[in-house]
Amino acid sequence: MVDLSYTAGPASIGIEEASHGEAGPRPFDPNDWNSVRAQFLLSPDLAHLSNFYLASNPKPVRDAITKYRKAFDEDPHSFLDDNMFGREEDMLWRTVCAEAAEYVGGRADEIALTTSTTMGLALTYNGLRLKPGQEILTTTHEFYPHHEAIRLATERWGATMRAISLYESSSDFSVDEAVARIRAAIRPETRVFGVAWVHSNTGVRLPITRVADVIADLNRDRDEEDRVLLVVDGVHGFGVADEDVASMGCDFFSAGTHKWILGPRGTGIMWAKPENWALLQPTIPSLMSKETSAAWRQDRRPAGPTEAAWISPGGFAGYEHQWATAEAFRFVRRIGRKRIQDRIAELNSRIKEGLAEMGHVTLHTPLDPEVSAGIVTFDVEGYEPRNVAKILRENRVIANATPYGVPRVRLSAGIVNSPEDVDLALKVIRSLKGA
């Protein structure tokens, strides 16, 4: 272990520590980053700089999970029956959809509930009725689940997939160049353009609104059944960027809520407008639609076009997690989307600027916060990325190496972090020069 001292900053105290003292726990103050951090059970001995991975849940979310789990354990039949299959106003999944809709700037009937970004993407691509000869265009920057969701869907429907690069140098990312490449790549047979909002191997954040504008322009000369659909893997922008998903111009949006939204593990959402839900064929029978179950009982096909609720996959789920997701949306909304965006930009800019000053480090993420988010990737001269991540972990910094064909070291600061966390990581990396 490198001999580096680390004194946890005020934002690094755990909730148990914050609860000690005669006065008892202090009430949550969303305007105080120390108070925000105190809502989490994260070990105060570590600098948790892997916020892109899987969230530690804040106290309101943990409390909701515990409450629902206790109710299930006491009377599983009644609690599920009353809150899933009873009166419309008692269905707790509707509360989750309403809270998600408030966050994305849309309506509750535009939200489907999933278990992850991966599931949402798979339900989208698998549900699109592609014609033989049509293609899904994507990029070379997509993560494995997005690539595979596209590949499996095209094989099912007899369509094709094609990938393009949006930049040669991620650190010098140009919005104009990326948008021009997208425009030039779309062909008459292109039915879908699938893209990640934030690239997890470079940290580049795409301006989805600009991409949507290009596609809308190209669609002016296309018939409705041949228009290009924009599908977004939104997980690393959702909960980071202060943008209304419903106003970005995409057709389908998928994101896990167990990362930047700080929700329970195994939760996620899809968003689309009603006219776009109508384009999808459900893949998994839903338990959230009375129409589809009524059609089964009456031995007929469901009436009307596909709705968001039809796409939400059925099968008994971890309902204590799904329903507690409402508290995650409430928690981040209390802090404020703009305030969260600014804090994440501040801390990750501190990482990037520190790395940029080191001659033995190659930074891959743009310095400009307008085209980056909460992920910073880089290489250290003379070290394999996995070894750098190992050294960081040995020195109490939780980081990782990206799992791509060309891996990179990855750091990611969120609202649970302090400047002291960042400075410790930079100190460790600085010590690797010439080592």
DSSP 293-305: HHHHHTTSPPPSS
Question: For residue 435, what pLDDT is reported?
Answer: 66
Q: Is 207 exposed, middle or buried (0-12, 13-18, 19+ CB in 10 A)?
A: middle
Find, among 40, 157, 233, 383, the residue nearest to 399 by Cα: 383
The reply to whether 10-45+336-430 and 70-333 are identical in fold is no
- We find that the CATH architecture of domain 70-333 is 3-Layer(aba) Sandwich (3.40)
Looking at this protein, which amino acid is placed at residue 28? F
Residues in the chain with pLDDT values less than 70: 1-24, 435
Is the separation of the CB atoms in 394 and 17 below 8 Å? no
Question: For residue 10, what pLDDT is reported?
Answer: 36
Query: Which segments of 186-269 does DSSP mark as H helices, in order?
Result: 208-219
Question: For residue 26, what pLDDT is reported?
Answer: 83
DSSP-derived 3-state class of residue 252? strand
Torsion angle of C-alpha atoms 417, 423, 426, 430, degrees rounded to 10: -160
The domain defined by 10-45+336-430 folds into Aspartate Aminotransferase, domain 1 (3.90.1150)
Find, among 125, 189, 129, 190, the residue nearest to 152 by Cα: 125
Is the separation of the CB atoms in 41 and 33 below 8 Å? no
| 54-68 confidence digits (pLDDT tens) | 999 999 999 999 999
Question: For residue 86, what pLDDT is reported?
Answer: 86
Which tokens go with 254?
């998928």
Cα–Cα distance for residue pair 72/390, rounded to 1 Å: 41
Find, among 235, 174, 185, 254, the residue nearest to 215 by Cα: 185
Neighbour order of strands in the sheet with 409-411: 361-363, 376-380, 409-411, 400-401
Per the confidence metrics, is the pTM higher than 0.85?
yes
Residue that has been written with the tokens 């949306």 in this structure: 329
| 386-411 confidence digits (pLDDT tens) | 999 999 999 999 999 999 999 999 99
Question: For residue 21, what pLDDT is reported?
Answer: 38
Cα–Cα distance for residue pair 344/27, rounded to 1 Å: 23
Question: For residue 62, what pLDDT is reported?
Answer: 99
DSSP-derived 3-state class of residue 263? coil
What percent of the chain lies above the pLDDT cut of 90?
92
DSSP-derived 3-state class of residue 192? strand
Find, among 416, 399, 424, 411, the residue nearest to 374 by Cα: 411
Domain boundaries along the sequence of the chain: 10-45+336-430, 70-333
Cα–Cα distance for residue pair 102/331, rounded to 1 Å: 13
Residue 310 phi/psi, 5° resolution? Answer: -70, -25
Question: For residue 24, what pLDDT is reported?
Answer: 58
Cα–Cα distance for residue pair 157/225, rounded to 1 Å: 16
